[in-house]
Amino acid sequence: MNEKIIHVLSIDKKVNNFLVKTLKDIIGDKLHVVGFCFEEGVKGPKSAPLVLISGKFLYERARKVYPYSKIISAKRTINGSNLEKLFILPKGKKVLVINHPKETTIETICSLEEMGINHLEYIPYWRGSGIDIRDIDTAISPGMIHLCPEEIKNKIDIGSRPIAFSTFAEIMIYFGLNIEFIDKFAYEYGRRLVNAGQKISEAYQRAEGLRKNLQSIFAEIDDAIVSVDEHNRISEFNPVAEKLLGFSKKEIIGNKVDSVFKDIEGFSSLIADKEKKDKLLNLNEKRILCSYIPLSKESGESYIITFKEVSKIQKLEENIRRVLYKKGFVAKYTFDDIAGNSEAIKNTISKAQKIAKSNSTVLIIGESGTGKELFAQAIHNESSRKPRPFVAVNFAALPENLVESELFGYEEGAFTGAKKGGKEGLFEQAHGGTIFLDEIGDASLSIQARLLRVLQEKEVMRLGATKILPVDVRVIAATNKDLKQLVEKGLFREDLYYRLRVLPLTLPPLRERKEDIPVLAEIFMKKYGISKRLSKEAQYCMDKYNWPGNVRELENVMEYVANISEGDIIQVEDLPLDVNNISIKDRGSNGDRDIKLLIEKLDCLFNLKDVEFILEVLKGYKDKNIRIGRRKLADLARLKGMELTEEKIRTLLKNLQQYGLVLRGRTRQGTVLTKKGETILGYIRGE
Ligand SMILES: Nc1ncnc2c1ncn2[C@@H]1O[C@H](COP(=O)(O)OP(=O)(O)OP(=O)(O)O)[C@@H](O)[C@H]1O
């Protein structure tokens, strides 16, 4: 009988840990599993009854280490995570596949192709491969994404490759594990792999749903829309665009966008810098409002352009369209996009995940910028309604006279100016999906009455219509106002309030979960293309700030920082005024609380004893009306046995000056205490 020991040998430590863990998890009670990797300098000769190597390519090297053992190579498969991100990538897109070494990389590509994910052009990449990556922006890797070159923007980790069932069976047969166990194992492990298969099929369906959704939105939308792929070729063109721009879809699909629209003056500059923007352009004596809208990172550099003929649109209606359609009818965020490690956010996410399973109406309550829309989208995407539309309506942005027709639609001739053929309302367009009613507290009483009817009867009637249309829409409302108070003031219907808050979800403000600030700051830094560290003082300011605008404000601050800060470290001066105003300068005289804040701040930067010493000396000299220089301060410190170099004193004085505690003369004029400094000195001593 063989001793029940198996050695696992690979090059990479990470891969080794993963393989060892998989074996231990599944057959750890039957076998003793030990891992070795070349990265850590494994040397032979060694012996073990059976050696599992991470890939065939390792055989020769393994044989040198284990001259007499049986060696088998692990067959590996794909685990299925993040695969929807691959399905969303456009057909034929060049994608780096990262692994190590070359043979494993090729194997990974074969596994992807075997699983039917073959719409992409895979370029193998391994450490030292020297492949030219100039026109590639996306990379995928099964757990080795850390090997990805820095300059690749879109990195997709599809998770480490699990061991295939056949390899497990080979190991178990070798050790003579009983057949009953193999059966049980086959069932369990098989189920895991089936799950991976299911994940793939679901991912595919989701991506397909997204594509179809986009196509149907294109066909339905009243504005001219053109979608352009990352090679600047036109990939979709809706009927309104055909009419407005005078091209037929068949003629121009696949053509370069700048050559098709070369007659539109100023068009090329609109698409040149790949930023979301609008521009008024001239085409055949028409004034056209062109909007450039970049799509998500996953779709590479692709984008959408909308065209609106200005003379034909009433200005008001145009603004509304922009608000309404700015995000399309697709929810892009999932729970994975909600960042934060605080208990508060984790509990909220877990509650929201439960809410997603139900079909009842949700009321999200939270201050501005806390992520109400983000949560609404994540709930939709986690629900069974995911493949259907997510329609967002913002009551604060919609003018009262248009809310009704936008929400419920109208029949032809319902009012002067009503479009021929009538118009579908947003409730109808959200059919099967979710409607997000943002800032519901701003809805007028008459709209509230109509909303109540939709919630109760699950049907809508267009303006001017006689027939009723059944709609199946889940409502997620959101508010940053105290609706209960509005009810008390008679501004919000009580019956609607209770209809809405079947499942209430309260989002915590950022000031109550400050431990989330670093992780969110990091996410936004990445978003704005910087990777820097916050100085201790800047971190302090961010932490003490109250964040009235919550996460949105934090995002704005990081965008500001990305534009302002120059070195590798974000200094307090790089923060916008509101945030670095925690600075003592303007607050020193505001009583004990602020002085305490100053002391805390100085304490986090310097040794408080040093601060006290400097202020004390300066006070003595001020009484004699003398300014004192750095060298003198350093000499005095030395006499007192303190370790205060001139350089340290210089930084300290600079900070004390910044907070208005001392006045420093230029060059050799020395330093003197201010009135504010005296107050603080007294306080520090009293502490
Ligand atoms: N936990 C989070 N993780 C990552 N990003 C977040 C988080 N919370 C909010 N954000 C981001 O902050 C911004 C504001 O979020 P969102 O628009 O959902 O807030 P809101 O509460 O709906 O705001 P308003 O009340 O002003 O409409 C968005 O860019 C969103 O992606």
Q: Is 569 found in the same domain as 622?
A: no
The whole-angstrom distance between residue 26's C-alpha and the CA centroid of its chain comes to: 35
Last residue of a domain, one of 149, 177, 205: 177
Residue 472's CATH number: 3.40.50.300
Residue 261's CATH number: 3.30.450.20
Residue 574's CATH number: 1.10.8.60
Q: Is 538 found in the same domain as 441?
A: no
Atom of ligand 1 nearest to the CA of 364: 21
Q: Is 596 found in the same domain as 671?
A: yes
Q: Is 482 found in the same domain as 371?
A: yes
Between strands 5-10 and 50-53, the pairing is: parallel
Last residue of a domain, one of 526, 549, 582: 582
Tell me if 340 CB under 6 Å of ligand 1: yes
For 433-449, the three-class secondary structure string (H helix, E strand, C coil) is CEEEEECHHHCCHHHHH
pLDDT score for 307: 80
Q: Which of 552, 556, 557 to mutate to test the pocket of ligand 1 (most atoms within 8 A of CB)?
A: 552
- d(CA 395, CA 444) in angstroms, rounded, equals 9
pLDDT score for 473: 93
Q: Is 172 found in the same domain as 234?
A: no
* Residue stretches of the chain with pLDDT short of 50: 1, 194-196, 299, 312-327, 583-593, 685-687
For 161-185, the three-class secondary structure string (H helix, E strand, C coil) is CCECHHHHHHHHHHCCCCHHHHHHH
pLDDT score for 9: 95
Q: Is 366 found in the same domain as 439?
A: yes
Tell me if 394 CB under 6 Å of ligand 1: no
Residue 650's CATH number: 1.10.10.10
Q: Is residue 408 part of a domain?
A: yes
Tell me if 479 CB under 6 Å of ligand 1: no
Q: Is 290 found in the same domain as 253?
A: yes
Q: Is residue 120 part of a domain?
A: no
Q: Is residue 84 part of a domain?
A: no
Q: Is 489 found in the same domain as 369?
A: yes
pLDDT score for 139: 93
The CA angle 420-424-429, to the nearest 5 degrees, is: 155
Last residue of a domain, one of 145, 177, 209: 177
Q: Is 361 found in the same domain as 456?
A: yes
Q: Is residue 515 part of a domain?
A: yes
Tell me if 339 CB under 6 Å of ligand 1: yes
Name the residue with the closest Cα to ligand 1, atom 16. 371
pLDDT score for 95: 93
Tell me if 552 CB under 6 Å of ligand 1: yes
Cβ 131 vs Cβ 123: under 8 Å: yes
- d(CA 543, CA 573) in angstroms, rounded, equals 15
Between strands 409-410 and 32-37, the pairing is: unpaired
**What's the pLDDT tens digit per position in 169-191?**
778 778 877 655 555 555 555 55
Q: Is residue 22 part of a domain?
A: yes
Q: Is 625 found in the same domain as 607?
A: yes
Name the residue with the closest Cα to ligand 1, atom 10. 371
The alpha carbon of 550 and the centre of ligand 1 are apart by a number of angstroms equal to: 8
Residue 17's CATH number: 3.40.50
Domain range enclosing 409: 335-508
Comparing C-alpha atoms, which of 610, 609, 543, 538 is closest to residue 573?
538
Tell me if 551 CB under 6 Å of ligand 1: yes
Name the residue with the closest Cα to ligand 1, atom 5. 338
Tell me if 555 CB under 6 Å of ligand 1: yes
Q: Which of 370, 377, 557 to mutate to test the pocket of ligand 1 (most atoms within 8 A of CB)?
A: 370
Tell me if 372 CB under 6 Å of ligand 1: yes
Atom of ligand 1 nearest to the CA of 523: 4
Atom of ligand 1 nearest to the CA of 340: 1
Q: Is residue 72 part of a domain?
A: yes
The alpha carbon of 56 and the centre of ligand 1 are apart by a number of angstroms equal to: 48
The alpha carbon of 682 and the centre of ligand 1 are apart by a number of angstroms equal to: 44
pLDDT score for 246: 83
The alpha carbon of 569 and the centre of ligand 1 are apart by a number of angstroms equal to: 26
Using the structure block, give the residue that is written with the tokens 């300066």. 618
Q: Is residue 531 part of a domain?
A: yes
Q: Is 359 found in the same domain as 278?
A: no
For 591-645, the three-class secondary structure string (H helix, E strand, C coil) is CHHHHHHHHHHHHHHCCHHHHHHHHHHHHHHHHCCCCECHHHHHHHHHHCCCCCC
> Position 146: which residue type?
H
Q: Please count the structural domains in the chain.
A: 5
The CA angle 451-453-454, to the nearest 5 degrees, is: 65
Atom of ligand 1 nearest to the CA of 333: 31
> Position 642: which residue type?
M
Q: Is 473 found in the same domain as 366?
A: yes
Q: What is the ipTM of this complex?
A: 0.97
**What's the pLDDT tens digit per position in 120-138?**
899 999 988 888 888 898 9
Cβ 298 vs Cβ 87: under 8 Å: no
Six token digits for residue 467 = 């027939």
Cβ 307 vs Cβ 292: under 8 Å: no
User: 172-177: which pairs have CB atoms within 8 A and are 24 or more residues apart?
Assistant: 172/27, 172/30, 174/2, 174/49, 174/50, 174/70, 174/72, 175/2, 175/4, 175/6, 175/30, 175/31, 175/49, 175/50, 176/1, 176/2, 177/27, 177/30
Atom of ligand 1 nearest to the CA of 507: 21
pLDDT score for 210: 56
The alpha carbon of 511 and the centre of ligand 1 are apart by a number of angstroms equal to: 14
Using the structure block, give the residue that is written with the tokens 């027939």. 467
Which residues, at least 6 apart from 166, have a Cβ–Cβ distance to it below 8 Å? 75
Q: Which of 326, 345, 373 to mutate to test the pocket of ligand 1 (most atoms within 8 A of CB)?
A: 373
Q: Is residue 159 part of a domain?
A: no
Q: What are the C-alpha distances in Å from 80 to residues 112, 209, 245, 324, 588?
A: 10, 18, 43, 35, 57
